Chain A
């Protein structure tokens, strides 16, 4: 069962080959036996999951099963789940039991999906390796000496190891796409505003977006059509009709215009990654697409602009953790200032503090114009690069990350870690959607192709990814990890 895609499992449940209870029980067993070697889950909600699986089985018998009825999933531990700890990978929220569900959690519940638990992540989604979690690093199932990527590393590793067929992640600078690439799965960051952020713990509010991580583009389509849509509780969610993504997967690629940004194939790109990506692009040519080179001239400014804007927004968003209303509180505070300072010193990890300090510094008096305003102006230039490119081509393609997954502990310097996101970060600044699709290996570690499309062109993105997966079998490769277990 664990090798099947979400779409296949849905068909099997519908055909009565097995029940949701059997399916979820098998998945929970895999988690119990295998996750000790990966650390991809922070919390497993077995009891609640089996009750929901039974409810889905009954709904199916009664003839009113939802589109995801009985299908097991996992949620990055950034999505609030009522009655279940929502830690965001932080000591600060280790004891926080959310009093409400995030909108996407509610929507998945209405569709009948069964949540098996909450996945590990870099603390407050700040990181590219999942090594910044209070709950310890996650390992990559393709090679347990490698990182799974981050910040949605737990979700990516859990899907890659067949613990769950799909999971939700969030992406502020590449946090769905890069771990998807490192773990050999398919991950979609939707357009900013496509999926509600209500109940999704905020990191950088003008960049954060939730999205699906699964084995195939078809599975991502199935999930996206469930979680997307306008939400009055998120003032930045967009009131726009949600297309039937699954129905649009089969659009032919004949005549599709693909742009290859020359800045995405420059210095620092691992040669094996480049080969795998260029081979994938040849497959697209054989399917009738036309390929040309384009330029996104402000690409080199994306990481500098991001490391002003994201920490600035984070320093503001994370000011809510004050030891008063929820979360960690220090022992025996002498006064209010001591309460704030010690609570936050104890509750936040090093990378989170680093970003709070940078954000606070760049927003402080005397620095605001030179940093924040300047970064926002550059952000417009970066977005304009994409808009100009999409005047000439339908989609852009390149590597998701410059290298395959690196070794645990290998990136010690924060700035070199930040540079890992060189191809993904501009996409968040521009707000456009992007998907990472597995296209091969560099040694024993997977390589992802990133495909980008204009705002709200998720249907095209998913179709382009799906057509590739119809013609190739990279998405069907499974790691040796956990293979011995049925």
Chain B
């Protein structure tokens, strides 16, 4: 399955990675060759084979629905680029 310029721009938008038209052109070639290599998978008959999501076939362990963390907002917000009054600052989203 080939990948085209529009596919690269679509993926970049979905992943919210800014990409210029020129940069996208550069990725078309790289990604096409990666997908060409990946396409070897299509030749395998996998009918009836259950997909393996976890290498030990394990399922997620459950725990009681109890609060185990204490609030450490100040400490965690110390890593943030911009905060005010305990809130994360982003550009205005509602006028």
Which residues of A pack against B, CB within 8 Å?
96-97, 99, 191-193, 206-207, 232, 235-236, 238, 298, 300-301, 303-305, 307-308, 315, 319, 322-329, 333-342, 344-345, 348, 353-354, 356-358, 360-362, 364, 367, 370-371, 373-381, 383, 413-415, 418, 428-432, 455
Contacts and interface: CB of A to CB of B under 8 A. Distances in A.
A180 B80 CA distance: 36
B10 interface: yes
5 contacts: A301-B40, A304-B40, A304-B41, A325-B79, A341-B17
A431 B56 contact: yes
Interface of B: 1, 3, 7-8, 10-12, 14-19, 27, 30-31, 33-35, 37-42, 44, 46, 49-56, 58, 60-61, 63, 72, 75-76, 78-82, 88, 90-93
Contacts of A308: 38, 41
B54 A206 contact: yes
B51 A376 contact: yes
Contacts of B61: 235
Contacts of A381: 44, 46, 49
Nearest to A332: B91
A99 B55 contact: no
B39 A348 contact: no
B56 A354 contact: no
A238 B56 contact: yes
B11 A360 contact: yes
Nearest to A239: B61
B43 to A, nearest CB: 9
B58 A193 contact: yes
A380 B50 contact: yes
Nearest to A334: B91
Given A236-B58, A415-B34, A206 B53 contact: yes
A39 B71 CA distance: 39
Listed from nearest, the 5 A-B pairs whose CB atoms lie closest are A431-B55, A376-B51, A345-B18, A341-B18, A329-B81
